[in-house]
A = this chain, B = another copy of it.
Amino acid sequence: MAKVADQYLLVHPWKIIEAGFHADRSRVSESLFSLANEHQGVRGFFDESYSGESLAGVYLNGIYEERFNEAMAYKGISNRLCFMVNTVNWLYTRLELDGETLDLAKSRFSNFRRELDFRSGELRREFVWETKSGRKLHLVFLRLLSMETRELAYQQIYMTPLNFSGKVTLTLGLDFSMPHRMFEENFWDCPRRAAGAILGMSKNIHHRVFAGMRVDAEAEQMPVEAEKFVGGRLEVDLVEGQETTVSKIVIVHSDRDPQQGLDTAWERGMSQLRTSQKTYIEVLEQNRMYWDNFWAKSDITIDGDPETQQGIRFCIFQMQQTYRGVIAGANIGAKGLTGEAYNGNAFWDTETYCLPFYLFSNPLAAKSLIDFRYRTLPQALARAKDLDCEGACYPVATIDGTESCTLWQHASLQFQPTTAVAYALWHCMNVTGDTDFLKAEGAQMLIEICRFLASRGQWSATGKFGYYAVMGPDEFQMMVNNNAYTNYMAKRTFEFTLQTLAGMDLEKLGCSAAELEEWQRIATAMIIPYDPETGLYEQHEGFFNLPHIDVDAIPAEDFPLYHHWSYDRIYRNDMIKQPDVLMFMFLYNHSFSLEEKRANYDYYEPRCIHESSLSPSVHSILASELGRHQEACDFFRFATRIDLDNYNRNTGEGIHTTSIAAAWMNIVYGFGGMRSDGELLSFHPSIPAHWSGYSFQVFYRGAIIRMEVSQTEAVVRVVEGKPVRIKIGGRETEIGQQGTSVPVKNREFTG
């Protein structure tokens, strides 16, 4: 894991700050300075446009387009790619002074500074532009997405001439002509336009996006219109030394329903624009209150490590921006709303990495994520049919519930998305104690998932049950038999389903006793490759016989391997990309002894190259449990700053949103030693040697629990709500506002 930080932002507990423009990191900054409010995501691109390296992107949750690959002549291979499509640039601005147009790739400028504040969600950028004629204009660009009224957004421009008085020309607009950069193609038609309002309709899927704006400026506005653009041209009189403000209030509405008339979409947007009268300052104040409230409940503090403090707050801020359970039917793309990589598709990362964050900070959002899988059950049923199976197979990658992964070797062979849904149902129920959803929608989902798992698996000649031709979470072992993760998770899924259905009215559920018996037989007969002598789970049948490769001997320049190694070469040795056996040992942590975890960690970790950005945190969490505290810190090192320091050199494509969730887990499950798979929530806190202390809070059974850890002790108490029972340091106890404390000994967990 020879990853090297590329740190160029200033360290600050509540902000990211770029002092002086770093043109060579322009795309990275665009990702980092992204704003979002779940409804929309706006990359930190320059309002006035930038002719250098840039990916100007504005993405709306659930607004996507489709693209068909050349179809393969085989059944069950999806050739339809859905992608979150670039939409409307409502920040469109052109600035002319003395016949020169502002463009930081070409113009002379100084005193550049850009700040994103996690306590308000305000993005501020300022600099002094000096024209060829020597005029100096101090400019401040502000932008804001309302956290209260999600369609509402603001742009604010302050202009102060430093050495002249005179006219500046501004063009402000709403621009649907941006290309979707992944395919260098624009996907919008604009069937309606008026002064300051425009309706876009996406070309293939006919999603609609309304954008409307009102500009507040002391200047005459001349309307400007083009096929996919509406806006206005302003001549603004500037006076030396005086600040002039231009404000733009914007409404961005989206609608996926193709049945909805254009009139309706138009009228709804126009009406909201008319009634939105709050000023920038008022909405900024609302946002501040929103974030204050949020941080009060979900902050993680780290004392003695300002970089990590900044890093983890950046992570939490981005998670909350991206998703908070406001929009029904939304999910979390691998890059959130910050870029086009992974096409805005959601993966099993949602259930496995993101869900815990929400479960312990915003249980309603967690429920909404599970609800996404319930809403898309019909698509999962159809997908299983495509695969000649029964029941429901959840997609590897999706926006709308259909399979959007066009690589058959993943889409047809990976079933961790399906078992992850069952796991999520179990995990939520286990943490919240709430069985209402489980006994209704949950039962339906579990039945269909079991039907899939029963029909996709096969009985061996010796009367055992297993999964053949699968790929586990470790994507470096492509098409194997009886992957331990797949089989183990399936076994647990069957068992949980049987337990859930016990006593329920099977007939009403459309399910037979014979089916349940078969599932019981399958669960009992499930092959789990395991060597009792060594305590090692074999990642799949034959894994132990694979040729060994020393992953540390692979030259750094060979990474990422997908780009430098011939495709098949990756798949024919005992190197793994990410945790597989260790993954199920993390998920069902209580089901394995410390000795088993140690044996398997010692065997698999040295074989893992952590090519998935999700891998190090899981290893860090287990290393903490095993008392390998230095190792835990090493794996953690870049968890919170994977994007801020661009460790993978691809932050320019967007934020690693789901890895950011893993960073949260790394602190809470790793150092905090929290486990949520037992009967009670439990903690075994440890602390990195260079931290003086840290704290986090988790929602649990109606209470908010606060954990404060110093180098000597950990204090846990309820800060809101009723007392709850938990386990700490292996001891079961009820805690209230008084709380309890345990000494922090950096040692192995014991129970």
**Residues on A close to B: CB < 8 A?**
69-70, 72-77, 386-389, 408-409, 412-413, 458-462, 466, 468-469, 478-479, 481, 541-542, 545-548, 562-569, 571-573
**B567 and A468 contact, CB distance less than 8 A:** no
Complex Cα spacing A569 to B456, Å: 9
**A468 and B566 contact, CB distance less than 8 A:** no
Give 21 CB contacts A-B under 8 Å. Answer: A72-B567, A73-B562, A74-B567, A75-B564, A75-B565, A75-B566, A76-B568, A387-B566, A387-B568, A412-B566, A460-B546, A468-B571, A468-B572, A469-B568, A469-B571, A479-B479, A479-B571, A481-B542, A481-B545, A481-B572, A541-B545
19 more contacts with CB within 8 A, not counting A76-B566, A468-B573, A542-B542, are A70-B70, A75-B563, A75-B566, A76-B568, A77-B567, A386-B566, A387-B569, A389-B566, A408-B567, A409-B409, A458-B547, A458-B572, A460-B547, A462-B545, A466-B547, A468-B572, A469-B478, A478-B479, A481-B572
CB-defined contacts of A408 to chain B, threshold 8 Å: 567-568
CB-defined contacts of A413 to chain B, threshold 8 Å: 568
**Which of A73, A389, A542 has the most C-beta atoms of chain B within 10 angstroms of its own C-beta?**
A542
**A468 and B546 contact, CB distance less than 8 A:** yes
Complex Cα spacing A317 to B542, Å: 49
Q: How many copies does the complex hold?
A: 2
CB-defined contacts of A562 to chain B, threshold 8 Å: 73-74
**7 closest Cβ contacts across the A-B interface?**
A76-B566, A468-B572, A458-B547, A469-B572, A74-B567, A388-B566, A479-B479
Nearest to A462 among chain B residues (CB) is: B545
Nearest to A562 among chain B residues (CB) is: B74
- The secondary structure that dominates the A interface is loop
**Which of A389, A469, A573 has the most C-beta atoms of chain B within 10 angstroms of its own C-beta?**
A469
**B461 and A547 contact, CB distance less than 8 A:** yes
**B469 and A545 contact, CB distance less than 8 A:** no
CB-defined contacts of A469 to chain B, threshold 8 Å: 478, 568, 571-572
Complex Cα spacing A458 to B290, Å: 59
Closest-CB distance, A464 to chain B (whole angstroms): 9
Closest-CB distance, A388 to chain B (whole angstroms): 4
**A548 and B387 contact, CB distance less than 8 A:** no
Complex Cα spacing A571 to B480, Å: 11
Contact A545:B460 (CB < 8 A) given known A413-B568, A572-B469:
yes
Complex Cα spacing A469 to B409, Å: 14
CB-defined contacts of A466 to chain B, threshold 8 Å: 547
Closest-CB distance, A547 to chain B (whole angstroms): 4
Nearest to A480 among chain B residues (CB) is: B479
Nearest to A546 among chain B residues (CB) is: B468
**Which of A77, A478, A481, A569 has the most C-beta atoms of chain B within 10 angstroms of its own C-beta?**
A569
CB-defined contacts of A462 to chain B, threshold 8 Å: 545
CB-defined contacts of A74 to chain B, threshold 8 Å: 562, 566-567
CB-defined contacts of A461 to chain B, threshold 8 Å: 545, 547-548
CB-defined contacts of A75 to chain B, threshold 8 Å: 563-567
Complex Cα spacing A725 to B404, Å: 65
Nearest to A388 among chain B residues (CB) is: B566
**Which of A73, A408, A459, A567 has the most C-beta atoms of chain B within 10 angstroms of its own C-beta?**
A567
Complex Cα spacing A478 to B479, Å: 8
Complex Cα spacing A387 to B481, Å: 25
Q: Which of B386, B389, B569 contacts A388 (CB 8 A)?
A: B569
CB-defined contacts of A460 to chain B, threshold 8 Å: 545-547
**B547 and A468 contact, CB distance less than 8 A:** yes
CB-defined contacts of A409 to chain B, threshold 8 Å: 409
CB-defined contacts of A387 to chain B, threshold 8 Å: 566, 568-569
CB-defined contacts of A77 to chain B, threshold 8 Å: 567
Complex Cα spacing A528 to B479, Å: 21
Complex Cα spacing A562 to B69, Å: 19
**A458 and B542 contact, CB distance less than 8 A:** no
Complex Cα spacing A459 to B574, Å: 12
CB-defined contacts of A70 to chain B, threshold 8 Å: 69-70
Complex Cα spacing A459 to B69, Å: 39
Nearest to A409 among chain B residues (CB) is: B409
Complex Cα spacing A547 to B525, Å: 14
CB-defined contacts of A546 to chain B, threshold 8 Å: 460, 468, 481
**Which of A462, A564, A568 has the most C-beta atoms of chain B within 10 angstroms of its own C-beta?**
A568
Complex Cα spacing A572 to B387, Å: 13
Nearest to A467 among chain B residues (CB) is: B572
Complex Cα spacing A345 to B12, Å: 63
CB-defined contacts of A545 to chain B, threshold 8 Å: 460-462, 481, 541
Complex Cα spacing A656 to B458, Å: 36
Complex Cα spacing A70 to B469, Å: 26
CB-defined contacts of A386 to chain B, threshold 8 Å: 566
